[in-house]
Structure 1
Amino acid sequence: MEMKKNTAKVQIKQIADKLGVSSGTVSIVLNGRGDQMRISKMTQKRIQDMAKEMNYQPNIYARRLRKSAEEEAPYIIAIFWREEYLDDLLARFLKGLYHAIKNNDLNIELVLQPYDFGNLEKHHRFINSNHFNGAIVGGISNEDQQYLEQNEFDIPIVLIGRSTKKYNSVLIDYYDAGTNCANLFSMRNHKIVGLIGLSTKGKSVQLIELAFKETCKEKNILIDTNCISYCEERNFTSGYESAMKVLTNEKKPTAIFVMDGRNAFGVLKACKTVGLTVPKDIEILVFGENEYFSYSEPTITTIQQPMEQFAERSLNMILMSIKNKADNPMIQELSPIFNFRESCGGFIL
C-alpha cells in the first residue's frame, strides 16, 4: 500500500498551483522542452524539484501500451547506444538484459535509441521521466559526458564504460586491461609489436591504448610509429589497409594488438597477403568478442568486456535507484575476460 501511495500520480495542475506558475509551463518543463521554450533555469529547477517532492509520475504507460487500470504498468528503460556499436556488442548487452528480466520475472519495457558519437545532447528532450523511468547510456564521447554532467535529469542514469561522480556506472579498469595485453606479449617474448587502433575513440579505448603503449615501453618492447596504424572504419577493409601499413615496414612486428573486433579479419587477411602465418610468424590479440572468432582459421584470441554482466548490473542499479530513490551514484567495476585461442597463446607462468 505504501508503495502505491509513493507512486500515485500527481496532476500537473497541482504542481503549478504549488509554485504559482501555469500548467503549460509545468508541462513544458516536465516534457524536457524548458530550454527550447526559453524558460529560466531557476524555474525549471523549481518545477523539477517540486515534481520529485510530490512523487509525480507522468502517464507514459497509457500512451504506449494502453494498459487497463488493474494491470501493473511496466518500467520503461531507454538504452541510448552509439550508432557505431549497433552490432554484436549491443546483441550481447541486450541478451544480458533479456535474461535478467526473464530470470527475475520483471515487468520492464526496453526502448532502444541509437545516437551519433558526440551528439547525445540532440536527444535531450527524451531523457526525462515523461518518457522513461531510467536510461542506460553506452559508448559516449568526452563531449557527451560533459553534456550529461552539466545537466540535471529526473531519472536514474547508468553509463557503460565511463567513470563519473554524478551517475551510476558499470565498467572495467580499461587502463589495467591495456596493461595486461602488453604483459601478455612480454611473457611471450615479443620484442617488436604492432597496434591497429581506431581513429574515432572514446575514453575507454584511449585508456587501453595508453596503457598498452606505456607498458610496452616499460617492458622494452618496441612499438614505434611505423608499427601503429589507425582504422577509419570498423570493418574488414579498414583493418586490412591498416595492417598492410604495419606489415610492409622493414621492422615487422611479431605480435599485433587489434583494438576492435570488426577489423580483425582484415588484419588476418593482411598477414596472409604478406606471407606471414598466424600464430607461427605473428600472434594476434583482439579487444572485443565475436562468435565467429571461435570458428575462423586460425581461431582468434580476445580480451572482452563482460557485456552480459554489464547489462544485469545496469538494470539492477536503475531498479534500486527507482525503488529506493537513491541519490548517491553507484559504481560497479568488473573484470575483463581473456579468451585464449590459436592466434595467441596464454600467459606463460
Structure 2
Amino acid sequence: MVTRADVASLANVSPAVVSYVINGGPRPVSREARARVNAAIEALDYRPNAVASALRGGSTKNVGLLIPSPVNPYFAELAEVIEHELLQAGYLLSIGITHEDAKLQRTHVRSLIDRRVDGLLLISSDALAKIREHKEQLPPIVVVDRVDDTDSTSCVHVDNIQGAATAVEHLQSWGHRRIACISGPWPLRTSKDRVQGWREQQRRASAPHSPDLVAQGAFTPQGGAEAATSLLSPEHRMPGYDVPTAVFVSSDAQAHGVLHACSSLGLRVPEDISIVSFDGTQSARFTQPPLTTLRQPLKDIGASAVRLLLARIASPKEPKETLVFQGNLVVGGSCAPPKGCPGTVP
C-alpha cells in the first residue's frame, strides 16, 4: 500500500508538506513543491484515508443515503438525481439498502456514522425514529419522500394527499365511480396519505370508498400483483362484492404487478379496467399500455434535499425546513370509460 512517506520521497519533500498539500494547510506550500506533490500522488495513485482526513479537517465530503429498495424505479431514479447534485457540489454518495427493516436500518446508520459521513439523507421517516437513540453522534439529516413530524429534521416530499386525489379525479372524469385503491405498506405515512387522498376524492364525488375497496401491498411489483388479485380475482370476492371498474395504484412499481395480475385474470387494460398510478417514473412509459401516472418532480425533490442537507452541514443549527411539492398528471393509455358507459375523453 502506498503511504504518505512514499509520496514525500518521490516529490523530494517532507511528509508534513504532503499533508499540507492534501489538507490545504495549515502552512503554505510553494507552487513548485505543490506541483511535485500532486504529480507524485498521481504517479503513485495515492489515496488518502478519508476518515483520518475527517478527524483532522472535519469533513469526508461523503454523504450517506438510505433507500428501501433499488427494485422500485422511483427510489433508483431519486438516488441518481441526488448523486448528480452531490457530485456537482464536490461530494460522494454512499448508499445503504434497508428493505424497510429496522435492524438493517440501524446497521447501515452505525456503519455510515463510523465512516464519518458529513450528512445523511433518509428515504424513511421510520428509520429516523429508530435511530434517535444515536442523536448525540448523528450527522445532519434530511428526510426525503417521507414526512417527519418532529421539530428538528428537515424533510422534502410531494403532496401525497393532493396527488392521490388528482389521480382519482382523473378516473372519475372517465365515468368511473367504483374505484379501488392499492396502498403501500401500513402504517407508513406515505401509504396513509395516498389512501386519504383517494378516500376524500371519492367522498367529494359521492362515490364508494368503503374499506373493502382498499388492498395493501409492498411498493414492489409483487406487492401490486398480490393486492390486485385480492381485489379483482373471483376467488377472493365476498358475496355481494361489486368488482371495481378502475384502480388507483400507489406506486408505479406496484402498477407493474397490477398489469401482470390483470393479464393473468383475463382482464384487459383499459378495456375492462382502468389504472392510474403514482410516481411518474421512466418505467411507466414502457408498460403495455403506457401508464397514466401522477408524476413527482424528482429533480426538484432531489436537488432541494441536497441543498437543505448541505446547508445543515455548513451550519448545523439551521432551523428545520419542510418543502412540499405538487405532482402533475402524465396521461398514458391505461384509462377508458367503464363498460356500458360511453364516457368522454378528459
User: Is the Cα–Cα contact under 8 Å of residues 163 and 171 in structure 1 kept in the other structure?
Assistant: no
In structure 1, the partner of 2:175 is 189
What is the rounded CA distance, in whole Å, between the counterparts of 2:261 and 2:327 in structure 1?
A: 28
Shift of 1:127: 5.8
What is the rounded CA distance, in whole Å, between the counterparts of 2:262 and 2:98 in structure 1?
A: 35
What is the rounded CA distance, in whole Å, between the counterparts of 2:327 and 2:205 in structure 1?
A: 22
What is the rounded CA distance, in whole Å, between the counterparts of 1:65 and 1:232 in structure 2?
A: 37
Name which of 148, 159, 165 aligns with 1:163: 148
Name which of 92, 98, 113 aligns with 1:115: 98
* TM-score normalised by structure 2 residue count: 0.70
Q: 1:118-129 counterparts in 2 under 5 A?
A: 119=102, 120-123=105-108, 125-126=110-111, 128=113
User: Is the Cα–Cα contact under 8 Å of residues 320 and 326 in structure 1 kept in the other structure?
Assistant: no
Match status 1:137 vs 2:122: yes
Match status 1:259 vs 2:250: yes
What is the rounded CA distance, in whole Å, between the counterparts of 2:215 and 2:138 in structure 1?
A: 43
What is the rounded CA distance, in whole Å, between the counterparts of 2:261 and 2:184 in structure 1?
A: 17
Q: Higher relative contact order by CA 8 Å / sep ≥ 6: 1 or 2?
A: 2
What is the rounded CA distance, in whole Å, between the counterparts of 1:312 and 1:121 in structure 2?
A: 26
Shift of 1:232: 5.5
User: Is the Cα–Cα contact under 8 Å of residues 245 and 274 in structure 2 kept in the other structure?
Assistant: yes
Q: 1:6-21 counterparts in 2 under 5 A?
A: none
- 1:41-75 residue CA offsets vs partner (Å, 9 max, x unmatched): xxxxxxxxxxxxxxxxxxxx9433888xxx99751
Identical positions, percent: 17
User: Is the Cα–Cα contact under 8 Å of residues 186 and 221 in structure 1 kept in the other structure?
Assistant: no
In structure 1, the partner of 2:200 is 214
Q: Which amino acid aligns with 2:310?
A: L
Match status 1:90 vs 2:81: no
SS in 2 for 1:229: strand
SS in 1 for 2:284: helix
Report how many residues are paired. Answer: 286
In structure 2, the partner of 1:28 is none
* TM-score normalised by structure 1 residue count: 0.69
In structure 2, the partner of 1:330 is 321
Q: Which has the larger radius of gyration?
A: 2
User: Is the Cα–Cα contact under 8 Å of residues 184 and 190 in structure 2 kept in the other structure?
Assistant: no
In structure 2, the partner of 1:63 is 49
With over 3 angstroms needed to count, the CA separation of the structure-2 counterparts of 1:152 and 1:175, relative to structure 1, is farther
User: Is the Cα–Cα contact under 8 Å of residues 158 and 326 in structure 2 kept in the other structure?
Assistant: yes
Name which of 259, 271, 276 aligns with 1:280: 271
User: Is the Cα–Cα contact under 8 Å of residues 121 and 141 in structure 2 kept in the other structure?
Assistant: yes
In structure 2, the partner of 1:244 is 229
With over 3 angstroms needed to count, the CA separation of the structure-2 counterparts of 1:266 and 1:73, relative to structure 1, is closer
What is the rounded CA distance, in whole Å, between the counterparts of 2:290 and 2:143 in structure 1?
A: 32
User: Is the Cα–Cα contact under 8 Å of residues 180 and 244 in structure 2 kept in the other structure?
Assistant: yes
Shift of 1:188: 2.5
What is the rounded CA distance, in whole Å, between the counterparts of 1:130 and 1:230 in structure 2?
A: 37
What is the rounded CA distance, in whole Å, between the counterparts of 1:314 and 1:223 in structure 2?
A: 35
